[in-house]
Structure 1
Amino acid sequence: MKYCRRPYVLGLEVYGRKRCKLAFMAISILMLTKATAQSPTRLPPIEVGSNAEAERPTLQTLLHHVNWQSTPEAPIDLIDDAQSSADDSSAALDALEPPVVSEPAATSLPDSDDVVFATDAAELSQEFQTTAYERESRGELQNNFVAQPDFAGGISIISGDVAMKIGGYVKADLIQDYNPIDSPDSFVTTAIPTDGESGKRARFHARQSRLSFDTRWRIEDRIARAYIEGDFFGGTTDSTVSLYRLRHAYGNIGRFTAGQTWTTFTDPSAVPQTLDFEGGVSNVNRRQGLVRWDQPINNRWSVAVSVENPRVDFITPVLVTGEARTETPDFISRIRYERDRTEFQVAYLMREIGFQPEDAPLIKSFASGFNFSGSAVFHEDTKVYSQIMFGDGIGSYRGSPDVVATGPSTASLLPVFGWMIGAHHRLTERWTTNFTYSALYLDDIAGQASTNLRNTTYFAVNLIANPYERVFCGIEYLYGQRTDVSGAAGHANRVQMSFGFFLP
């Protein structure tokens, strides 16, 4: 019998042809097994060197590359879809190192094929922006507590042709009064007592905190919008009661607006930038139900007309029994001029005020008024705003009566005149300041009660810091004065500190 040469396989001698065949088969299997175990196809390449072991990817590094998609059937998929579908019977899960898979999107988290929950969806939501909808935030400096949130970026939900932006802020107010005032949460100067009483009061609250939902979608070649916003100034001034209150709830499509929002008689660009919630005594900051049509004239001028919810503040004569009536809506029109850094508008209001005595015919009277307002930005760091408002029977648009009793059984429309001026300045990238002064005067009609309001003033100056993005803190000094028809007067001093956090 002839023998093959004496090969050595792993140090063992093998004789005979059959044994040679078995040896070669063993060699092949062992080489294939070794090659498979050392295959780099499932792991990143590793450089050879003294630090090669330290440079091997760790489990934490590999999990960073996982595509964190989830479904009810497969909560978390740690295997690349293409790799798993190519070889369902592979032993990848038995490997010592987890597999490397595709990089996820950096700014969005897909929850399904249609909806994207995004924390920074600037590019996705930008296509839903329009000049008309972004008008209120245009040209505004930082620390504006009235302007609506910018629609691009932040917390957004996008699904095809529909997008929603969640906005708002948390604001905590620490208030110290050095004189009596019957309005602990906001500085309402008409609530200053004039009887000479004295006293101090401290108050902490977060009622100005705000939450908004801005939803937009495409209808043919237009973008429709539904906006809802609320704060917690509902209920009473009791520190334990802060009810959610509706501020805005309206919809836009093209030039048509319907719902509750700023009255057409006001100018949001001229609202004072105070930490105090009230603002100036002559500033028209009323929000109410309305239906409005805006009509552009050219790229700078526009007009608007609206019918709005009538609200009347009526001081009833002592010998008359009845109730105030609003048989028709308020009719308001305005003409507006806009440029990149300048806004100006004139608004006109006409209304019918009625009173229904018991067992007597309805008494009606026509009332009207004007509001001139505007703002301008200088050198990108300073915004100046102003307002002049006057008319008969329109005092409720600024917190004063529309009709006052002039005798035991008589009443009259009350003429009102108010003005305001203010400036908002950016000192540095992290510091801003604002001052506001306003005054309101009511005519001294013969026969009024001596305790009726005659005039009031409001002054505020603040300093606000932005130590971090979307974080603010500030301090504000407020001074107010009230004078009655009798000549009795009172004043109030307040210091307010505020801390806040804007939603992204």
Structure 2
Amino acid sequence: MNFHWLSRALLGGVALTVMSAGAQADELSALKAQLEALQSQVNQLEARPAAPAMPEGASWITFQRGTEATADWNTNRAGDEMPTAGGFTVAITPTADMPAPVHEVTIAGYVKGDVIYDFDQDLGDFFSYTAIDGQKDQDHVRLHARQSRFNIKSKSDTAVGQVRTLIEGDFFSGGSFGGTDFRLRHAWGEWDVTPNWTFGAGQTWRNYMSVFTGITTVDFNGDVGLIGTSRAAQVRLQWHDGPMQFGVAAEAPQEGQLLNAFGQSSANIPDFTARFQYDAPGGHKFLVSGGLRTYHLDGDVGAGSPVVGPFNSDTKLGWAIQGAANINLADIATLTTSVQYGDGIGNYAFGANGGAYVDATGDIHTIQALGIFAGLIFNVTDTTSLNFGWGWTDQKRSDFINAAEDAEFLGGNGANRNGDVMSAHANIIWQPVQQLRLGWEVMWGQRQRTVDQSSLAAPFKVGTKTDDAVRAQFGAWFFF
């Protein structure tokens, strides 16, 4: 009996052992299958290219104080320099094996407040030479912030060369007595086609102008004799090699430069300009430039003079040449000067009325003009400078007198037009830190203008009268 029980127990234990061994075999098979699946996934991941590891402290997008990233691309004219410690830079660095940023955007600008005192008459928010008309003892105070400026620049390294952009504006819309609407100053793009050739398009400084000539002024405009309308829409091709630059451009023709046209002026050909600049050792700079422009009347445009009716079609060519230099005087002072002359020069010379006029028979005549500027910049200390500037724009008397008399004959207004204009600025500029600049300035302007001397015996007689004005101004730039 006991043997029977023992044999059954042994048989049951063997059965349980066999069953347990079978279950363990099934679990091992399943585990082995899972391991094989995981190993397959690992092999697939290892076969993929590794994602670039960012170096320690690096980021896809970085923000930093200052605008040094685009400081090597100088887009400012003399006196408009902004400190590179201001503003900020956004940089994009795509991979660890390409540590130099391939795209950088700098944002900068300033807020400028002005306090103006006119001793003779109100000349507006900048020293308007065309507003000088002989009024005396009409003291006037102005305060404004219209010169405040905003600037965005970018630089992108691409497979076909570096691309750069500039957008800048201020609030000086509508002239000296205008409003505070935002005004576009620059909208410009450049592409380095090769290491020595650059193509540009948009709106920026005229190719004809010398960007290094002039002094820092508290007044927005500065002296006559320099460039007049200094920015224009254009396409430009520029060659540069070390200290030498050469550029040619086709620029938008400026409307309103043909006097007495009564709506029949037709700007059908762009201005063509060329410029050569050489930066000599020791801080000296030299420039030669020239420009060609056309003045055109189209009999199919407008109705002509209210007196003589439509004009016939006519075209005249105007030209201008300029020489400019900055001479470093032993690192103590800088002499900055320019001379420009032309026939039909127009607004290339600040202070000129126009480049040409229509006479009583409907023919176009160009106006000869001369522009001269000279300035001295004394660097008293690292933070203080003294600046003196003088300018003169001289239009040939017979030309602007004939233009005014023909305007009267044709039913227009020939009075109150500029003849010769002269100016002087003297100031002290103090910049204790890069974020703050203060300036105190005194300026003087003299304007020769046309006056109507008509009588019954000489109904279209025009003469001239000379008046001057004095202004004092304080300005504060707050760079951000």
Aligned counterpart, 2:116: 175
Query: Aligned equivalents of 1:216 and 1:421: distance in 2?
Result: 35
8 A Cα contact 2:393 2:421, kept in partner = yes
* 1:167-223 deviations in Å (ceiling 9; x for gaps): 111111100001125x311112232114x5541211001111111001111112732
Say if 2:318 is the partner of 1:367.
yes
Aligned counterpart, 2:435: 470
Query: Aligned equivalents of 2:201 and 2:66: distance in 1?
Result: 30
SS in 2 for 1:447: helix
Query: Aligned equivalents of 2:175 and 2:347: distance in 1?
Result: 20
Say if 2:218 is the partner of 1:275.
yes
* 1:300-321 deviations in Å (ceiling 9; x for gaps): 333211100110434644xx75
Displacement of 1:378 in angstroms is 2.8
1:217 to 151, 156, 160: 156
Say if 2:205 is the partner of 1:262.
yes
RMSD: 2.6
8 A Cα contact 1:211 1:229, kept in partner = yes
- CA 1:197 to 1:411, structure 2 compared with 1: closer, same or farther past 3 Å? farther
Aligned counterpart, 1:388: 339
SS in 2 for 1:303: strand
- Give 1:36-435 correspondences, 5 Å limit: 113-120=59-66, 125=69, 130=72, 133-134=73-74, 145-147=79-81, 150=84, 154-160=87-93, 161-181=102-122, 183-194=123-134, 196=135, 198-220=137-159, 222-235=161-174, 237=176, 241-254=179-192, 255-284=198-227, 286-296=230-240, 298-314=241-257, 316-317=259-260, 321-340=262-281, 341-357=283-299, 358=303, 360-397=311-348, 398-400=350-352, 401-407=354-360, 411-435=364-388
Give the counterpart letter for 2:430 in structure 1: A
8 A Cα contact 2:151 2:168, kept in partner = yes
2:422 to 447, 453, 457: 457
8 A Cα contact 1:149 1:168, kept in partner = no
Gaps of 5+ in 1: 1-103, 138-143
Aligned counterpart, 1:489: 466
SS in 2 for 1:323: coil
Displacement of 1:136 in angstroms is 5.4
Query: Aligned equivalents of 2:392 and 2:133: distance in 1?
Result: 17
Query: Aligned equivalents of 1:262 and 1:148: distance in 2?
Result: 17
SS in 1 for 2:226: coil
With the length of structure 1 as denominator, give the TM-score of the two structures: 0.69
The structure carrying a bigger helix percent of its residues is 2
Displacement of 1:410 in angstroms is 5.3
Aligned counterpart, 2:475: 498
Query: Aligned equivalents of 1:391 and 1:480: distance in 2?
Result: 23
Query: Aligned equivalents of 2:184 and 2:286: distance in 1?
Result: 28
Query: Aligned equivalents of 2:211 and 2:430: distance in 1?
Result: 23
With the length of structure 2 as denominator, give the TM-score of the two structures: 0.72
Query: Aligned equivalents of 2:166 and 2:63: distance in 1?
Result: 19
8 A Cα contact 1:250 1:260, kept in partner = yes
Gaps of 5+ in 2: 1-55, 94-101, 193-197, 304-309, 405-414, 451-462
SS in 1 for 2:212: helix
Give the counterpart letter for 2:420 in structure 1: N
Give the counterpart letter for 1:199 in structure 2: Q
Aligned residues: 375
Aligned counterpart, 2:402: 447
- Percent of matched pairs sharing the same residue: 24
* 1:33-86 deviations in Å (ceiling 9; x for gaps): xxxxxxxxxxxxxxxxxxxxxxxxxxxxxxxxxxxxxxxxxxxxxxxxxxxxxx
Query: Aligned equivalents of 2:294 and 2:66: distance in 1?
Result: 49
SS in 1 for 2:402: coil
Displacement of 1:464 in angstroms is 1.5
